[in-house]
Amino acid sequence: MKLDELFIKMRELCGGANPVRMAGRPDPMPDVLALRYDSRKVTPGSGIIYACVRGERVDGHNFAADAARSGAVALLCDHPLPLDAPQIIAENVRFAMGEVSAVLRGNPSEKLRMIGVTGTNGKTTTAYITRSIMRAGGIATGMIGTVVYDDCVFEVPADRTTPEGPDIQDMLARMAEAGAECCVMEASSHGLEQGRLAGCKFDAVGFGNLTPEHLEFHGSMEKYFAAKRRLFAEYTKAGWTGSANADDEYGRLLLGEFPGQVRPFTADAAPEFPGAYAASGVSSSAEGMTFELAFPDGESCRIESPLIGGYNVSNILEAAALADSLGVSRESIIRGVSRCPQVPGRLERYTLGNGVRVFVDFAHSSDGMEKMLSALYPLKERDLCVLWGAGGERTPLKRPAVGSIMAKYADYIIISTDNPRSESPEAIARDVESGVISGGGESRYGIILDRKEAIYRALDGASPGDIVVIAGKGPESYIDYGTHRMPFSDSGTVLEWAAERGVGMRDS
């Protein structure tokens, strides 16, 4: 596509909310083949337009001259630069580069059935269940989310929940080229707020819940919800459908705003929403759960899932509602739920050869910890030990709140290190400690900042019938110290301990 043609297309797509203008009109007009936001990926003759993205620590405008020297055919920036290079100037570069990338990649989201899920807790599990249901219905389905990026050919570890716009468009294009028919995508509040999903349009969107999180970025729950709401209001195709949690106050706001299009689901039989996707007769064990799923038309079926925890009932209902709205058979819903693989870092369970059960979980908020521990507490045969550490530079008020919740449920607590980033691990641990003590756990905790040592101590001290919960990091493969990342895996450390101690594993 010629640069002037791309500019005209951008004006159509970005509209008044993000006006664009062009500075410098080369003759002849160059062909634009791709967009990159990393100046190191610009090479001569590659037809690349370089996007100057402002990040939290680095401003891409500072590398525009490098990109121009490396052969960028144009620059996408938010203000005119004193460079002899064609420039497209847009108020919101992130939004614009998503739209540009979609055009250059042939608008791949229009070629796929797109399913988006958002909310605070449960997005990853819901995405895994939804992908499993779609595949059970014979629909080749990829996924973009917190744990993996799956283009239906390869799965690779994810580095963020919602990637930058050009990366999303590249993934969607690869899915379409590989024969995928559908993509399930987690939509983070950061991604929605910053415009990383620009160029994507969804056929079905789901909302699980909203609890205090990322307030250091959004500033208030109202602004946090406004970011989530954008998935429904700004990123949907004509004739879209949605699902929202009728048990959540913010889910009820969406149901009121989009009546008919957004279908309710409820695990608590919300009386004001008759005809919802609803669960009843829930029975849980350490091996999974069963319940009766009622559909809005009155039909019902028996659901069997390897997942545990009452909150996963809501995740299953959300996935079932999304799939049902897209016409997936109910037999496929039943099969997909029952066959859903264990979700990495979401109550990921290991039964040790000595009879100790270990759960690795991503719970890092007060709501997530409460739901997770309340699900495991009835399953314990002896003691429940919880290991957790708060991340640095993230909502400090949640630290004592989580500490208090751990004191409510755990027989013993180990406070350790998560991702301290630029903060002092000792200071973070003291914040958590204050909540443990105020919650009545003053005689039932210890602080072990070295996370490997903490996990080893927890497992060494466990007896048959005990449950050990290692929470906060889930599937992450590192500890972020701000200036560097140290390779580390909670699950890998459990397996390493079992091998060193000669304990072995039982089938979970």
Q: Do 60 and 124 fall within a single domain?
A: no
Q: Do 120 and 100 fall within a single domain?
A: no
pTM: 0.87
As for how many domains the chain has, the answer is 3
Rounded CA-CA distance 205/115 in Å is: 6
Q: What's the pLDDT score for residue 508?
A: 57
Q: What is the pLDDT of residues 334-361, one digit of tens each?
A: 999 999 988 888 899 999 999 999 999 9
Q: Do 85 and 211 fall within a single domain?
A: no
- Give me the CATH number covering residue 113: 3.40.1190.10
| Among candidate residues 205, 208, 210, 213, the one with its CA nearest the CA of residue 183 | 205
| 150 vs 286 pLDDT, higher one | 150
- Give me the CATH number covering residue 440: 3.90.190.20
Q: Give the pLDDT band of residue 269 (cuts 50, 70, 90).
A: confident
Task: Give the mean pLDDT of 356-372.
Answer: 92
Q: Do 377 and 484 fall within a single domain?
A: yes
Give per-residue burial for 224-256: e unless 16+ CB within 10 Å, then b. Answer: bbebbbbbbeebbeeebbbbbbbbbebbbebbe
Q: Give the pLDDT band of residue 278 (cuts 50, 70, 90).
A: very high
Q: Do 168 and 302 fall within a single domain?
A: yes
Q: Which of 339, 365, 394 is the last residue of a domain?
A: 339
CB contact at 8 A, 364 and 391: yes
The residues facing 54 across adjacent strands are 59
Ranking 269-278, 348-357, 410-419, 441-450 by mean pLDDT, the lowest is 269-278
- Give me the CATH number covering residue 59: 3.40.1390.10
Task: Give the mean pLDDT of 284-292.
Answer: 90
Q: Do 116 and 135 fall within a single domain?
A: yes
- Residue 65: domain span: 3-104
Q: Do 88 and 120 fall within a single domain?
A: no
Q: Which of 295, 318, 339 is the last residue of a domain?
A: 339
- Whether 229 has a pLDDT exceeding 80, the answer reads yes
Q: Do 329 and 451 fall within a single domain?
A: no
Task: Give the mean pLDDT of 273-281.
Answer: 89
- Provide the strand spans (E) within 37-160: 48-51, 74-77, 87-90, 113-118, 141-144, 148-150, 155-157
Q: What's the pLDDT score for residue 467?
A: 96
Q: Do 30 and 166 fall within a single domain?
A: no
Two structure tokens written together for 477: 């493969």
Task: Give the mean pLDDT of 87-113.
Answer: 93
Which strand (E) or helix (H) includes residue 68? helix 64-69
Q: What is the pLDDT of residues 461-479, one digit of tens each?
A: 999 999 999 999 999 999 9
Q: Do 220 and 330 fall within a single domain?
A: yes
Helices (H) and strands (E) in the chain, counts: 16, 25
Q: What's the pLDDT score for residue 16?
A: 62
Q: What is the pLDDT of residues 427-465, one digit of tens each?
A: 999 999 999 999 999 999 999 999 999 999 999 999 999
Q: Which of 280, 311, 339 is the last residue of a domain?
A: 339
Q: Do 216 and 361 fall within a single domain?
A: no
- Whether 270 has a pLDDT exceeding 70, the answer reads no
Name the range with the highest mean pLDDT among 55-59, 80-84, 411-415.
411-415
Q: Do 202 and 311 fall within a single domain?
A: yes
Q: Give the pLDDT band of residue 204 (cuts 50, 70, 90).
A: very high
Q: What is the pLDDT of residues 6-60, one digit of tens each?
A: 888 888 877 666 678 888 888 888 899 999 999 999 999 999 999 999 987 899 9
Strands 478-480 and 485-487 turn out to be antiparallel
Q: What's the pLDDT score for residue 497?
A: 97
